Structure 1
Amino acid sequence: MESQIKLFEISLYLHIPFCDSKCGYCAFNSQINKNHLKTIYMETLARYVSYKIHNLLKENQNLQITSVYIGGGTPNSVKSRAYSSLFAEFSPYLAPQAEISIEANPNSLSLEWLQTLQSLGVNRLSLGAQSFEDSKLIFLERHHRKDSIFYAIEMALKAGLKNLSIDLIYGTPLCNASLLTQELETACALPLSHLSAYQLSIDEGSRFYANKESLGNLRDFEGEFEGFLSMGHFIKSYLQTKGFKQYEVSNYAKTSPSYHNLRYWEGKEYLGIGAGA
């Protein structure tokens, strides 16, 4: 009897460090005013992906990439055509039905960009909504408003992307039960399969950290909130009533969890490539 072929399965994370603007809370590896570097960065990223994959193939010819996550930064701040050579390097090694996610910001998202990335293989979109309240978006120093989120979702559906996720931030001085309920109600009315809810953190390297004394009352993650142990528990309870199951600290799935997220949490092999990856 022939021995079963053993696959070497990995997940792939690709970091796009460019942004059109830097949010006040952001301490991630993201850069503004670096448009002149985008072309050479994407070309170099593709070459480095090729280099790393070929090194892995020396160890095991049966390499299979089970999921890909393209994060940032703001991946849609880079033109869609710049992704073609990158996808050409890893696509031959993708597992059947591999999950390929990409992040995007609502204010700079176009149908053409989404259609091109979908044609390359992207089948999951993670949208940086952060809030459905304009005053909260202004506080967070986001450069979009709530109407941009609805437009972005509409464009994603037109492009054929049905596995949609959004990020929301809570824990700001504006957050109360009424506002959060309204935001969660709005989110749950959208055709989403996944939602990430993150507690606002004031991290060193962000503008918020430099000006933390002027931010006002940030709600304590551990503090009691409306009869719940914390604001996070309040959000969890609401989402559960709408069919979203918590499968990781900040992530909720209505249909199925993000396979890529689970790979991290289960300690599986992954390869991170790019600035800050």
Structure 2
Amino acid sequence: MPHHLKRTRSSFVPDNNSPVLEISALTKVYGGKNAPTKALNGVSLTVQRGDLVAIMGPSGSGKSTLLNCIATIDTPTSGTIRIAGTDTARISRSGLADFRRTQLGFIFQDSNLLDTLTARENIALPLTIGHVPVDQILKSVESIAKSLGVADVLDKYPYQMSGGQRQRIACARALVTRPQLVLADEPTGSLDSKNAKLLLESLEAINRAQKATVLMVTHDETAASFCRRVLFIRDGKVFTELMRGSDTRREFFEKIMQIVAVQGGVNNAR
């Protein structure tokens, strides 16, 4: 076991001196030898601590496959993925669930909340599973809910909340453990423009305040414009990258639109 991977009874200890995410020469091939399909074709990228990064690309470009490999849901054919210094290929099968719970946060297009739990209980779930003391759970849940503007619905069940509120509760659940990396898969895909903006503004604020590291796959140019970097994938490769720098969000949005237009996949902007 490498020196940076110190296993405790219930968690992994990350190497805080390493980038949060390092991917090198990643490939993923589906199908047999007679009809192979290369979904990822030598992807290499680095995400630093506290970064907010979007991945964009047309359908079939490989972005969802990449996210699944980073999430340890899928296994790459070759190449390496390191999260906070840990080579994910060296984690035992029995350790993967623990690794995901303690080091990764997940935000999906649909909130995936448990209908039988209140918002408070949904947010607290990963902490409860991790045997965090109750008083600490209560403080953490209240704090993240306040940051996301959903403290007033903590005692409601999912069916009693709006779609935007449910998605922000899901976001709170992903962030409450202070994971090394938050993976967001089309987080605004099921929201109207108003609720999408609320979610993105909240996520951007938490990224700045807590240095939360977020990697977001999106088709939405508006969502991508809230990020600091946008990586564009085509044919299983990262073919270009945009840095926001000192641009306003509107200026960054226009640059994103220009590249998407070249790809031939302009979406309706919000």
**TM norm structure 1:** 0.31
Bigger radius of gyration, 1 or 2? 1
**TM norm structure 2:** 0.31
